Amino acid sequence: MLKGEGLNYIFDIGKPSEFQALRDVSVQFGDKKLYGILGPSGSGKSSLLYLLSGLRKPTKGRVLFDNNDIWSLKSNELAEFRNKNFGFVFQRHFLINYLTALENVLVPVNKDFKKYEGRAKELLCDLGLESCIKKKPFEMSGGQRQRVAIARALINEPKIIFGDEPTASLDHENAIAVMEFLNSYKNHATIIVVTHDQSILKEADGQIRIIDGSLKEGDL
């Protein structure tokens, strides 16, 4: 269970450019469910995702994972915790161009790649990428690359998968395929995705809406 309590985030504190991106946002996400985060551009969706996933420290407020405050960990402990429990899929895929699809999927488990090789191949096949296992990113389509990035996010069986507009660079058909795969992964993990596209959230268990840095009343 992941919980944000009274989350605030201020950029450039004390400078003329100071800007409050999030105000007193409290949210709660149950286990093994799919959630969407919606809202206009600039409303604070990515900021919220970064706070919840331990990539950015809240200016005020707490992030609790199974009732433990993740920001009470030392920075190396937090990095290890994130690696073990969280997976990330971004709008841009950030694959490494000189590695094959299979090698890219194995990047997060560098040390144990032998142990994970079978699972990596299985994930790529489940995502319809059997023919791409040995291909490099520039030899694949945008949709294929994004699915490789999803396999990479899932390789170490994270408890929570965070997606920041994971389907934004895809056509509608590929976007639906990616969301369907994420949805089918719900019995293994909680999935939290930021998206502009309502239609890909048909299967979501809950949606939250952020407007000008605040949670819209009535959601979650």
- In the complex, the residues that contact ligand ATP under the rule CB under 6 A are 11-12, 19, 21, 39, 41-47
Contact of residue 91 among Mg ion, ligand ATP, none (CB under 5-8 Å per partner type):
none
Q: Which of 17, 93, 42, 7 is nearest to 211 (CA)?
A: 42
Per the DSSP assignment, residues forming a β-bridge with 27 are 4
CB 209 to ligand ATP: min, Å: 11
- Using CA atoms, how far apart are residues 93 and 33, in angstroms rounded to an integer? 23
3-state SS, one letter per residue, for the chain? CEEEEEEEEEECCCCCCCEEEEEEEEEEECCCCEEEEECCCCCCHHHHHHHHCCCCCCCEEEEEECCEEHHHCCHHHHHHHHHHHEEEEECCCCCCCCCCHHHHHCHHHHHHHHHHHHHHHHHHHHCCCHHHCCCCHHHCCHHHHHHHHHHHHHCCCCCEEEEECCCCCCCHHHHHHHHHHHHHHHHCCEEEEECCCHHHHCCCCEEEEEECCEECCCCC
CB of 7 or CB of 102, closer to ligand ATP:
7
CB of 46 or CB of 167, closer to Mg ion:
46
Give the number of residues in contact with Mg ion, rule: CB under 5 A. Answer: 1
Question: Interior CA angle at 38 toward 17 and 162, to 5°?
Answer: 90
Contact of residue 47 among ligand ATP, Mg ion, none (CB under 5-8 Å per partner type):
ligand ATP
CB 46 to Mg ion: min, Å: 3
CB 24 to ligand ATP: min, Å: 15
CB 48 to ligand ATP: min, Å: 7
CB of 7 or CB of 120, closer to Mg ion:
7
Does 46 bind Mg ion (CB under 5 A)? Our answer is yes
CB 42 to ligand ATP: min, Å: 4
CB of 156 or CB of 214, closer to Mg ion:
214
CB of 46 or CB of 104, closer to Mg ion:
46
Contact of residue 211 among ligand ATP, Mg ion, none (CB under 5-8 Å per partner type):
none
CB of 41 or CB of 67, closer to Mg ion:
41
**105 residue type, one letter:** V
Contact of residue 42 among ligand ATP, Mg ion, none (CB under 5-8 Å per partner type):
ligand ATP
CB 129 to ligand ATP: min, Å: 27
In the complex, which residues of this chain contact Mg ion (CB under 5 A)?
46
